Structure 1
Amino acid sequence: MNYRFQNLLGAPYRGGNVVITQNTQLISPVGNRVSITDLIKSQTITLPLQSSSNIRRIAASPDGTFLLTVDENHRCHFINTARRVILHRINFKNTVNAVKFSPDGKFIAVAAGKLVQLWRSPGFKKDFFAFELVRTIADCEDTVTAIDWSLDCKYLLVGSKDLSARLFCVEKLKDGILNKPFLFLGHRDNVVGCFFGYDKKNTNKVSKVYTITRDCYIFSWGYSGNNDGNFDENDGGISEPAFPGTPERDGEGNMDSGSVGTVKKRKDFDGKDEGYLHKEKWELLRKDGFMQSPAKLTACDYHRGLDMVVVGFSNGVFGLYQMPDFVCMHLLSISREKITAAVFNEIGNWLTFGCAKLGQLLVWEWRSESYVLKQQGHYFDVNCLTYSPDSQLLATGADDNKVKVWTVSSGFCFVTFSEHTNAVTALHFMANNHCLLSASLDGTVRAWDLFRYRNFRTFTTPSSRQFVSLAADQSGEVICAGTLDSFEIFVWSMKTGRLLDVLSGHAGPVHGLTFSPSNAVLASSSWDKTVRLWDVFEGKGAVETFPHTHDVLTVVYRPDGRQLACSTLDGQIHFWDTIDGLLMYTIEGRRDIAGGRLMTDRRSAANSTAGKCFTTLCYSADGSYILAGGSSKFICMYDVADQVLLRRFQITHNLSLDGVLDFLNSKKMTDAGPLDLIDDDDSDAEEGVDKQTRGKLGYDLPGSMPNRGRPIIRTKCLRIAPTGRSFAAATTEGVLVYSIDESFIFDPTDLDMDVTPEAVEEALDEDQPNRALIISLRLNEDSLIKKCIFSVSPLDIPAIASSVPYRYLQRLIEAFSDLLESCPHLEFILRWCQELCKAHGNSIQQNSRNLLPALKSLQKAITRIHQDLADTCSSNEYMLRYLCSSNNK
């Protein structure tokens, strides 16, 4: 039951800015969560932290330790990235359009509406008021859109929608006139980005300023000469405002370039004279156009070391330019949709691009013109998913007609199949782990080869049908698919692709289809309020029919094949004995899955009957509990034997989705209805997923509802991994993966006064590894179990393996599967596994149901190591042949 959120698949990027830390760590917002991708190891993880709504802006400290996130509700989280915990929270009063740490990490500049607030960055020290407002700059006449710090943290460059950019001195001086900013004027559209340029000889000295506008122009500014004058050291310096919340109004007023006169100088810490940049005589050096009209410039970034600018446009084109001569290095198109993020990495050899509408995230090496990362989520909601038999792969199908296969451990999609011409509704992995089946509304069932990544067989019908369910028998010889329109079940031969039979009898769409794990009996559920069992190989038609009082939505077999579970429209789960044909249990789940009120609901969540049913079921690996989900924010876990609710998983707390709140806010009610339903037609909206059409299954998809495109939270498919260590849920947020926490959980068995860690150490000192191993297994402490395993001599493994009681086998096998993931002593662990199988083979075979999750985990670890060794041996063999052939020559 100790499942914890592990990862989020299916939507690598949904909008907002992205940042790169430590040159290889790509951090991007995914809905109301944050995803971190290691570009070297090709792994992605999603932090188990949630904001109250979709994240708009993120910023990382220079060393990558801290992360700042701001969501659509202006709520900010200050996160320790390494520990994955939220350290502090704060709310801003206005919409945050830009946020950036200072280069030394001591301050944070936040563009909140028309204001620029400077906050002192919290650290590891625990403070009651962690965020300290140092200064508020209120000079801009419209919303601030861009911020940039100088390397010495003394100056701040701010761009806004008032068609200007301003250069501020961060230090507050006693002479109020010196605090007035310099204005860069002459822009004809909003300033999208503004950056400090640096001297090539002295990379720490500001020599230029670049401002980039939405109408596809870049302005290059420079200053000439230093002004004369002496500076009194007692006339300036840093001072804090008496009240941090009071805006600093010293800088109000406009100043053009003609009003800049001579200013005083001050001595820097090195004893050299330094003029104030915002008092220098800046002039426009050149104005260059990107020539992409009528497209708009939507994203940009500047790399000071290379003096290069990367820009992205609303037509999917990006450009890379060498400054200050404005030489175009690359001009390419990566999509037809708007580029919402463009950023350099620290070295400058990689470019990262994001496209919110396509859920696409690209990392491109511009020198070699090759992709480092290319990830794209499903365009629409995921309809179905399935695990491979070894639990290493996860396949997903969606309304965008695509099938994607993901590596569970890395969170990466390594292949996408797009041959279907309509929504993919069902998936099934064959037992050989290398063949994937998919059913679609386009009237085809396709078989995919995961070795050659191709569609090697297509199953069709004489007349076009819409398939919504799919199943294959254990031998892989027969493929069955249920239809939405003709209410039939079609049966094909896997080897020949020929249509063998058509099973008729249902009077409604066949939405559930599954083969018994123990025999060749096929179970089907339909909206005609029945579950039917079919003998496919004998061809005798329906063997038995289980009637219900409401429409049956889905059906699933227990792993041993002796029990059948199905959910009905009235919110109940029925459990049938497949041998005697009797109803065993019934679980009433209406109240368990209820929760969440839609914006368009006229009734409260407690009085509404809509969506109070389970549309997907999944048994655990040992069949002791069952997972159930539907049109709700909850996933319910039930104990089958006792028919009790064990746990409810709330899949999201994202208020940007509909159906999360139980009670609507009465303050947002107007005469015209809920405030969130009133469309303001904001044509100048920031990045995000554009409005989409209605789904091909007839469901409302994200962007198509009348509530301004707020997706409705729901769970469409649930699957537990064959190892039992994790389960995946296809939800509106994406594919959520939950796994058992790897940290130690104190679950002792057979404890006694003498069963202590000291007793284990004493047994090891007395050279009694058998006794030490038994005591550690009774304590159930992971570190002690592994220590005792390694204390056994290889010659003593057979004797000790045979003396281990059966009730400790599962815990010992789990320890071996964990060790295989990280331990270098491969032969030693495999010898242990071999001797355990020899000594307890009969017990394992008789009680395979209870040991199945642990054995699946062990098989997964051994398979992965076998593949790695096979690749290494093949490479070594090739190298040896090459060396031998070169020596002969």
Structure 2
Amino acid sequence: MNVYELENIFGVINNSGNICFAPDGISLYSCTGNRIHVTNLQSHVSSVFPVETFRPIKLIAVDSRNSVILVIDETNFGILISVATRTVLSSTNFKDDVLCVKFSPDYPLFALGFEKKIEIWRIPVLTRPVSFTLVRQYRSFITNSKIIHIVWRKRRVIAFTDENRGLILTSKGEIKHKIAFWKLPVVACEYINNHLYIVSPSGVCASYEYNKETKNFEQIEKQLIIPPKNRIHFAAFGGSILAANIDGEINIFETTQFTKLHAYKYDFKYVSLAVSNTGNCIALGNKEYDFLTVYEWKTESYLMKSVGHRTAILSQTISPNGQYIATGDGQGNLNIWMIGSGECIASFNIKQEGDVGEDCAVRGITFAPNSLSVIGVGGNGKIMVYDLIKKKCYRALHPDTHQLDGIVIEPRDGDIIAAYSSEDAKIFLYSIRTSKLLDVLTGHAGPITDICIHPVTSELSTSSWDKTVRCVNFLNDLQTEVIDHPAEVMSISVNSIGTMYVSACRDGYLYLYGCDDKSMIGLIAYRNDLIGGIKLSTSAAPDTLRDGSSYNPTQIMARKEKYVSSVKFLADNDEMVVCGGNSKYVAYYNVISKSLVYKSFVTKDYSYSNIYDFVTSKKLKQNLDKKTKKTIQTKSIYVSPAGKTLSILTDAGVQLYTSGNHAFQPYCLSEAITPEAALEHLSNGNFLSAFIFSVHLNDKNLINQSFRSIPMEEIVSVASRIPIALLSRVLEYLTKEVSGLLFHRAVFFTAALLRFHINTLVKPNISLAQTAIPSSSEYLPHLRNLFKALNLTYKKMSTQSQQALALLNMCLQMSHFLIKKESEKESDEVRSECEKKEEMSESEIEENIKEEKMSENESLEDDIQENKSNEKSHISSNDMSEEND
């Protein structure tokens, strides 16, 4: 069982905190709730730190070396995170309200600005304690002012208050100095090249130089950079550049004489700014509209432009090739995200004329089997099919209903889609190719909650509140099978090999039953595992509560409310199911042992009301005055066909988890496996060990050298003894080699590999002792890619490629992938023959091949002799008939 780790969050980009650049200008940090979102502007790859705070983030700051990040949440709890390891180094509670934070450019210090004081803290280093240390506190001369800006000048701190006072603070004492006296507080300030620059909201920019004799800042230049009626809302310095947001127009000035260099308008009037240290890039963000943009003003191009969902995300899914993830919200927006980079590559809107409110909400999404088109259904009762290449809608289907809640697609040819309406309890079958309504399935007496389709037989299964699951094969027009349950069925799923169904009910159990006879084969209790997180109820009267006493009715009610709303099989291991619902946990179960493997948090953000494990009456009274009550829950779960990624839709966005792929597999790897050892085996003529060593090390040059050094007469021997754990990697390598210059060698090796390992590729792995060995479902994408590459090579070399294509067809048409099934006797015979062939030595394999050729020649000679004898007998019979005549 692979442990899934959080990789990214989609649909939410910048909804809390501030934005800031790394000192090198390559990375951009933003806040996604209580997590840090980092984007690499060179590779255009984004990710999320696994560290999270207990409240939404308010402020973040990066040190001058890009080694640590200081994060402060809404409760003024600060944590220090290492950028390299993405782990927490230290944490502390600052208690008072932190208004601004600034790192020293030369020393391991940072300054915090509060309402009536300033504090200097030392960050932990290797030679000092690994915790925050308070160095100095200034509060005697600050009466009723708020510190809104802080600037470092070597060891001195320059602070600006909301009363327009500039204060210079030293380590020896405090110097009160009025740098500027303006009507409005300072918008931005920075110390660059021994000059202090400050900007007023009215558009006045001034530069000051420090005089060592008077120990004061003297004004050098003062200039008005905007018309009198305009106003600067946000401004930021970077290098020798000043960027100012003037009523929605971004103006860029140089700081020596404040001359205007560039200007462009933006869609939103109020945006926050951040400028890189080089001054080339400007980041624009808005927490209300959840957008984040990076603009390079010299080339007038956007390095990044991402917009999140302004309303709650209602649906999501993963593409069959595992490259894209689609999300839909309540305003009709359907966004397609690239999983590898986190970039939004397409955005559609299913809203039609006359749609109001929830009519345009995207309630269900699915991808076509080729991942080139996406299908969305919504509250307007329409099915919209979009082309991801042309970025437009090419099909619009209109069922006879006012709302659709979910959709699935037939996995083989992708022509037939099934969309269901929860309120009408109907299922509409459509053909995308002809845009015709094929059938309308009915029978449920209550709202439909979930739908799934069998990967082999295309059997359609639906769950409902009427405590039943109905299964029907719409391709063969078979009779509908009804499976009764003791409670409302909330979700249903089928494993990737099509042998087992799992359904989740509100009574606290997962029901397992076989796909063939629909008989129950297992039962898993999940309710006690989802307990945790009591929803703060506002229905209780505050007079009836005693301070300090626990609210037991709330805890009992919270236990009864825990149920699973989505359950899915993990594609990389059909022994495991993952489920989540009205809880802060996501649980993973083993269907063989019927036990919990582990469970993980959806979030640890205490701003949600159902995160608390224990509620007292005092805590309830504190929350009664709040108008909004956010709750965290799992709305849906999807697993990629390859089993490498897992997406969970929550109120905090779509969380993407990966199984933690590495460059090499650590099992069966020893110190003896080195590049030098592989080259030594290659020079000694041990081609099998050299090839296995190079594949283990995952060195492309070494793999090419060892593979191309194998003699043609040794290929069959090497291919027959490839370890099972390396089959997927070898198939991936052969897919590239088949289309290369040495396609003859690659095709011959592919044919031998498929012939000797057909049993492993077809039979699923269900042994608990072989969890390190991939299951047969993992080979499916590699086999499909290899099949496409061989089709292109077919004309170049017909004999061997025809044999390899036949073997691939045999693999892809087995019961593990498609409809056809083999008897147990034939599969056992194939397995025994393959095991015998794997145990043969090289000489025995060559002798067997020669014997097979000799037997083929002998059979051909026998056929020829039989044909000759038949011709002679036929001639003699004709002669006899003529003589009789």
Q: TM-score range by the shorter chain?
A: 0.7 to 0.9
Once residues 797 and 143 of structure 1 are traced to their aligned partners in structure 2, the CA distance between those partners, rounded to angstroms, is 84
Once residues 103 and 748 of structure 1 are traced to their aligned partners in structure 2, the CA distance between those partners, rounded to angstroms, is 45
Once residues 133 and 155 of structure 1 are traced to their aligned partners in structure 2, the CA distance between those partners, rounded to angstroms, is 13
Aligned residue for 1:633? 584
Q: Are the structure 2 counterparts of residues 539 and 338 from structure 1 closer, same or farther at C-alpha, using a change threshold of 3 Å? A: farther
Could you tell me which of 482, 486, 510 is aligned with 1:573?
510
Q: Output the amino acid matched with 2:584.
A: K
Query: Are 2:218 and 1:311 aligned?
Result: no
Q: Output the amino acid matched with 1:648.
A: K
Could you tell me which of 558, 567, 575 is aligned with 1:617?
567
Query: Are 2:414 and 1:429 aligned?
Result: no
Once residues 329 and 575 of structure 1 are traced to their aligned partners in structure 2, the CA distance between those partners, rounded to angstroms, is 68
Deviations 1:33-86 (A, max 9, x none): 111111111111111111222111111111212211111121222222122222
Report the secondary structure of 2:779's partner residue.
helix
Deviations 1:733-765 (A, max 9, x none): 22212112235899757x9xxx87389987974
Once residues 259 and 52 of structure 2 are traced to their aligned partners in structure 1, the CA distance between those partners, rounded to angstroms, is 43
Aligned residue for 1:449? 387
Aligned residue for 1:674? 621
Aligned residue for 2:236? 301
Aligned residue for 2:759? 843
Could you tell me which of 186, 190, 193 is aligned with 2:188?
193
Aligned residue for 1:373? 304
Once residues 346 and 326 of structure 1 are traced to their aligned partners in structure 2, the CA distance between those partners, rounded to angstroms, is 18
* Contact 1:471/1:513 (<8 A) preserved: no
Deviations 1:126-168 (A, max 9, x none): 5244434244355434464533435x4254332233x213131
Aligned residue for 2:863? none
Q: Are the structure 2 counterparts of residues 397 and 75 from structure 1 closer, same or farther at C-alpha, using a change threshold of 3 Å? A: same
Report the secondary structure of 2:293's partner residue.
strand
Report the secondary structure of 1:186's partner residue.
coil
Aligned residue for 1:723? 642
Could you tell me which of 320, 330, 334 is aligned with 2:266?
334
The aligned runs of 1:779-794 (5 Å cut-off) are 791=706, 794=709
Q: Are the structure 2 counterparts of residues 23 and 473 from structure 1 closer, same or farther at C-alpha, using a change threshold of 3 Å? A: closer
Report the secondary structure of 1:123's partner residue.
coil
Once residues 39 and 718 of structure 1 are traced to their aligned partners in structure 2, the CA distance between those partners, rounded to angstroms, is 30
Once residues 859 and 516 of structure 1 are traced to their aligned partners in structure 2, the CA distance between those partners, rounded to angstroms, is 21
* Contact 1:195/1:211 (<8 A) preserved: no
Query: Are 2:467 and 1:526 aligned?
Result: no
Query: Are 2:155 and 1:220 aligned?
Result: no
Tell me whether 655-664 or 521-530 shows the greater mean CA deviation: 655-664
Using CA pairs below 8 Å that are at least 6 residues apart, which structure has the higher relative contact order? 1
Once residues 58 and 129 of structure 2 are traced to their aligned partners in structure 1, the CA distance between those partners, rounded to angstroms, is 26
Could you tell me which of 577, 584, 597 is aligned with 2:534?
597
Query: CA offset at residue 727 of structure 1?
Result: 1.1
The aligned runs of 1:431-580 (5 Å cut-off) are 431-539=369-477, 543-580=480-517
Aligned residue for 1:260? none
Aligned residue for 1:255? none
Q: Are the structure 2 counterparts of residues 477 and 819 from structure 1 closer, same or farther at C-alpha, using a change threshold of 3 Å? A: closer
Query: CA offset at residue 677 of structure 1?
Result: 4.2
Query: CA offset at residue 297 of structure 1?
Result: 5.7
Query: Are 2:409 and 1:414 aligned?
Result: no
Aligned residue for 1:170? 170
Deviations 1:157-205 (A, max 9, x none): 32233x21313143425xx6xx2333533324x5443334x5xxxxx23
Once residues 759 and 280 of structure 1 are traced to their aligned partners in structure 2, the CA distance between those partners, rounded to angstroms, is 64
Q: Output the amino acid matched with 1:855.
A: Y
Report the secondary structure of 1:623's partner residue.
strand
The aligned runs of 1:38-53 (5 Å cut-off) are 38-53=40-55
Cα RMSD (Å) of the superposition? 3.8
Once residues 221 and 317 of structure 1 are traced to their aligned partners in structure 2, the CA distance between those partners, rounded to angstroms, is 21
Percent of pairs identical after alignment? 21
Gaps of 5+ in 2: 353-359, 541-552, 766-773, 791-885
* Contact 1:492/1:500 (<8 A) preserved: yes
Q: Are the structure 2 counterparts of residues 841 and 776 from structure 1 closer, same or farther at C-alpha, using a change threshold of 3 Å? A: closer
Aligned residue for 2:194? 205
Report the secondary structure of 1:834's partner residue.
helix
Report how many aligned residue pairs link the two structures: 754
Report the secondary structure of 2:480's partner residue.
strand
Q: Are the structure 2 counterparts of residues 644 and 360 from structure 1 closer, same or farther at C-alpha, using a change threshold of 3 Å? A: same
Could you tell me which of 18, 23, 26 is aligned with 1:24?
26
* Contact 2:97/2:115 (<8 A) preserved: yes
**TM-score under structure 1 normalisation?**
0.76
Q: Are the structure 2 counterparts of residues 736 and 795 from structure 1 closer, same or farther at C-alpha, using a change threshold of 3 Å? A: same
Q: Are the structure 2 counterparts of residues 468 and 428 from structure 1 closer, same or farther at C-alpha, using a change threshold of 3 Å? A: closer
Deviations 1:675-721 (A, max 9, x none): 24425xxxxxxxxxxxxxxxxxxxxxxxxxx4x3x531111111111
Once residues 717 and 304 of structure 1 are traced to their aligned partners in structure 2, the CA distance between those partners, rounded to angstroms, is 46
Query: CA offset at residue 726 of structure 1?
Result: 2.0
Once residues 283 and 32 of structure 1 are traced to their aligned partners in structure 2, the CA distance between those partners, rounded to angstroms, is 43
Query: Are 2:314 and 1:383 aligned?
Result: yes
Once residues 791 and 96 of structure 1 are traced to their aligned partners in structure 2, the CA distance between those partners, rounded to angstroms, is 61
Q: Output the amino acid matched with 1:640.
A: V
Q: Are the structure 2 counterparts of residues 221 and 527 from structure 1 closer, same or farther at C-alpha, using a change threshold of 3 Å? A: same
Query: CA offset at residue 798 of structure 1?
Result: 7.8
* Contact 1:42/1:412 (<8 A) preserved: yes
Tell me whether 710-719 or 480-489 shows the greater mean CA deviation: 710-719
Aligned residue for 1:2? 3
Once residues 183 and 726 of structure 2 are traced to their aligned partners in structure 1, the CA distance between those partners, rounded to angstroms, is 69
Once residues 663 and 416 of structure 2 are traced to their aligned partners in structure 1, the CA distance between those partners, rounded to angstroms, is 44
Deviations 1:775-813 (A, max 9, x none): 979xx9767999789655532588467556789323442
Once residues 36 and 225 of structure 1 are traced to their aligned partners in structure 2, the CA distance between those partners, rounded to angstroms, is 37
Report the secondary structure of 2:723's partner residue.
helix
Query: CA offset at residue 627 of structure 1?
Result: 0.9
Could you tell me which of 554, 558, 561 is aligned with 1:608?
558
* Contact 1:195/1:209 (<8 A) preserved: yes
Q: Are the structure 2 counterparts of residues 305 and 759 from structure 1 closer, same or farther at C-alpha, using a change threshold of 3 Å? A: closer
**TM-score under structure 2 normalisation?**
0.77
Once residues 391 and 804 of structure 1 are traced to their aligned partners in structure 2, the CA distance between those partners, rounded to angstroms, is 29
Once residues 864 and 97 of structure 1 are traced to their aligned partners in structure 2, the CA distance between those partners, rounded to angstroms, is 59
Query: Are 2:335 and 1:404 aligned?
Result: yes
Tell me whether 490-499 or 829-838 shows the greater mean CA deviation: 829-838
* Contact 1:145/1:193 (<8 A) preserved: no
Report the secondary structure of 2:278's partner residue.
coil
Aligned residue for 2:806? none
Query: CA offset at residue 449 of structure 1?
Result: 0.8
Aligned residue for 2:723? 808
Query: CA offset at residue 323 of structure 1?
Result: 5.5
Once residues 58 and 587 of structure 2 are traced to their aligned partners in structure 1, the CA distance between those partners, rounded to angstroms, is 31
Deviations 1:266-293 (A, max 9, x none): xxxxxxxx3355x345599456666677
* Contact 1:532/1:545 (<8 A) preserved: yes
Q: Output the amino acid matched with 1:205.
A: N
* Contact 1:7/1:736 (<8 A) preserved: yes
Aligned residue for 2:817? none
Could you tell me which of 587, 602, 613 is aligned with 1:651?
602
* Contact 2:632/2:650 (<8 A) preserved: yes
* Contact 1:320/1:329 (<8 A) preserved: yes
Q: Are the structure 2 counterparts of residues 292 and 807 from structure 1 closer, same or farther at C-alpha, using a change threshold of 3 Å? A: farther
Gaps of 5+ in 1: 199-203, 227-273, 680-705, 867-889
Query: Are 2:793 and 1:855 aligned?
Result: no
Once residues 801 and 655 of structure 1 are traced to their aligned partners in structure 2, the CA distance between those partners, rounded to angstroms, is 61
Q: Are the structure 2 counterparts of residues 40 and 225 from structure 1 closer, same or farther at C-alpha, using a change threshold of 3 Å? A: closer
Structure ID, larger Rg: 2
Deviations 1:611-670 (A, max 9, x none): 41111111111422111111211111111122111110212112222322212366x53x
Query: CA offset at residue 361 of structure 1?
Result: 0.3
Q: Are the structure 2 counterparts of residues 301 and 490 from structure 1 closer, same or farther at C-alpha, using a change threshold of 3 Å? A: same
Query: CA offset at residue 531 of structure 1?
Result: 0.9
* Contact 1:147/1:156 (<8 A) preserved: no
Once residues 89 and 492 of structure 1 are traced to their aligned partners in structure 2, the CA distance between those partners, rounded to angstroms, is 57
Task: Please identify which structure carries the higher helix content.
Answer: 2
Once residues 361 and 143 of structure 1 are traced to their aligned partners in structure 2, the CA distance between those partners, rounded to angstroms, is 32
